[in-house]
Amino acid sequence: MKIVIIGTGYVGLVTGACLAEMGHTVTCLDIDAKKIESLESGIIPIYEPGLEEVVKRNKEASRLFFTTSYKEAFKDCLVAFLALPTPAKEDGSCDLSYVLKAAKEIGEQIKQYCVIVSKSTVPVGSCEKIRLAILSSQKEKIPFDIVSNPEFLKEGSAVTDCMKPDRIVLGVDSAESAQIMRDLYSAFTINHDRILVMDIPSAEMTKYAANAMLATRISFMNEMAGLCERLGADINQVRIGIGSDHRIGYHFLYAGMGYGGSCFPKDLKALASLAKEVGYKTPLLEAVETINENQKQILAKKINTYFSPSGGINGKTIALWGLSFKPDTDDIREAPSLQLIQELLSQGASLRLYDPICMNKIASLFPSSQRLHFCKDEYEAAEGADAIALVTEWKQFRFVDLEEILKKMVGKAFFDGRNQYKRSEMHTKGFHYYGIGLPSTH
Ligand code: NAD
């Protein structure tokens, strides 16, 4: 099939590359000429494990193309995916302007029947708005269908998620578009049928409900962690205790520094805003967000408490390990590290930062200064540090030589924002160790 992907970001590029891998002919379109130029010359603008090989292979096989031109992309397209940003507006509602702008372009360009698929996360009712935007810009009345196909891939394992999805949700309102989408995804469902066909509003709502449920589990565990700390219980043991109940399960039960990233924060806000529009109260969603906002400050609070007997954070040197919003991605949108860096700098700390992938992105937000050092690895970051804070649990931090790390430090404090280490082992090695949701011992 001839496919166009509009928006060549984290979702668009992965989707385009994986569809090409399955034999489709895919053109990835973006208005960012620099991005398209670098993709043309073989440079992948994002970090996503496994993506580079898939892009390279399919580009060489002439199944994957890149362009900035709607006209060129829509020459003979059967299915066009919208993988465009849907950020939060200031009032929390979803900004549909990127999607609707692209819809108008589509209306001007389609020359034959086409299925327009929204992969962007959009509020219930948006596909109807997309339909109207296309109709309003069509000069000739060429038939088309709209499909909602929300994306569930996770940055860091996006290629695998895309190749082996848990489910493919299709919101459709015509038999023809349902069949085309089934055919398009047939290669992904050979093992067993993973396609769930439903009406368009339900598909749009499924994505928001899924993200809200996952965010709720995180905030729930963070709230339980706060209680554990005060009651002398250990959230790690509680997690195993409740996860073993098959009605609960182990996934998404980790206490930490709160959720970030380009999806959960904005999607929860958009859902709450949508509820407000229809006059429905969502106290649960509000609580999930409030807990998360507080949780993002948890390490700064713990660091403050630790240093307050010795004059506070001012003048202390703190190493931060891991800065992306989660491991295996270079995405720093809404990363808890950003707030922590700002907070510690504003209190007069010197910071020694290290992340395996996203250092350039962090440097573009926080220019290097006398109090901000960008380090080449976690060992260099530890040099001369009064404390280390593990912010993002990249795998390489699991098996560091902790004795060596402690020798490089001038202090002994270790704040583990992701509960990656065993408290007893850290104490034996000589650290003053603080995790999330653990009984305090120092
Ligand atoms: P992104 O910001 O990485 O990529 C969006 C791309 O769209 C950018 O390259 C931008 O230049 C391009 N663009 C903007 N306006 C354009 C236009 N008019 N025409 C062509 N290109 C245009 O965004 P993303 O993270 O890939 O997210 C895309 C959508 O998918 C969002 O709605 C998001 O909520 C949803 N989503 C994201 C993820 C994720 O993990 N990133 C997961 C599931 C769903």
Write out pLDDT tens, residues 330-342.
999 999 999 999 9
Q: What is the mean pLDDT of residues 262-289?
A: 97
> Is the pLDDT score of 405 beyond 60?
yes
Q: Is the separation of the CB atoms in 434 and 298 below 8 Å?
A: no
Q: Is 263 in the pocket of ligand 1 (CB under 6 A)?
A: yes
CA dihedral 381, 387, 390, 396 (to 10 degrees): 40
- Output the six-digit token pair for 361: 């992105």
What pLDDT score was predicted for residue 108? 96
263 is catalytic: yes
What pLDDT score was predicted for residue 365? 95
Which residue is closest in CA terms to ligand 1's atom 3?
A: 9
> Is the pLDDT score of 442 beyond 80?
no
Q: Is 106 in the pocket of ligand 1 (CB under 6 A)?
A: no
> Is the pLDDT score of 42 beyond 70?
yes
Q: What is the mean pLDDT of residues 300-315?
A: 96
Per the model's pLDDT, the better-predicted residue between 405 and 188 turns out to be 405
What pLDDT score was predicted for residue 178? 97
Q: What is the mean pLDDT of residues 164-191?
A: 94
- Threshold 0.75, pTM exceeds: yes
Q: Is 8 in the pocket of ligand 1 (CB under 6 A)?
A: yes
Q: What pLDDT digit, counting tens, does each position of 70-100 carry?
A: 999 999 999 999 999 999 999 999 999 999 9
Q: What is the mean pLDDT of residues 397-401?
A: 95
> Is the pLDDT score of 202 beyond 70?
yes
Ligand 1, residue 11: give the atom nearest the CA. 26
What pLDDT score was predicted for residue 190? 82
The model's confidence at residue 369, banded by pLDDT at 50, 70 and 90, is confident
The CA 82 to ligand 1 mean position distance, Å, reads 8
Residue in 327, 387, 385 with CA at minimum distance from that of residue 355: 327
Q: Which position among 114, 127, 162, 263 bears the catalytic label?
A: 263
pLDDT > 90: what percent of the chain? 96
CA distance 166 to 86: 23
Q: Is 102 in the pocket of ligand 1 (CB under 6 A)?
A: yes
CA distance 235 to 335: 23
Q: What pLDDT digit, counting tens, does each position of 49-70 carry?
A: 999 999 999 999 999 999 999 9
Q: Is the separation of the CB atoms in 123 and 208 below 8 Å?
A: yes
> Is the pLDDT score of 41 beyond 60?
yes
> Is the pLDDT score of 292 beyond 60?
yes
Burial 385-407 (b: 16+ CB within 10 A, else e): bbbbbbbbbbeebeebebeebbe
Q: Is 32 in the pocket of ligand 1 (CB under 6 A)?
A: yes
The CA 334 to ligand 1 mean position distance, Å, reads 15
What is the residue type of 240? I
Q: Is 107 in the pocket of ligand 1 (CB under 6 A)?
A: no
> Is the pLDDT score of 278 beyond 80?
yes
The model's confidence at residue 375, banded by pLDDT at 50, 70 and 90, is very high
The CA 383 to ligand 1 mean position distance, Å, reads 39
- Alpha carbon 324 to its chain centroid, in Å, reads 10
- Output the six-digit token pair for 257: 């520094």
Q: Is the separation of the CB atoms in 77 and 109 below 8 Å?
A: no
What pLDDT score was predicted for residue 192? 82
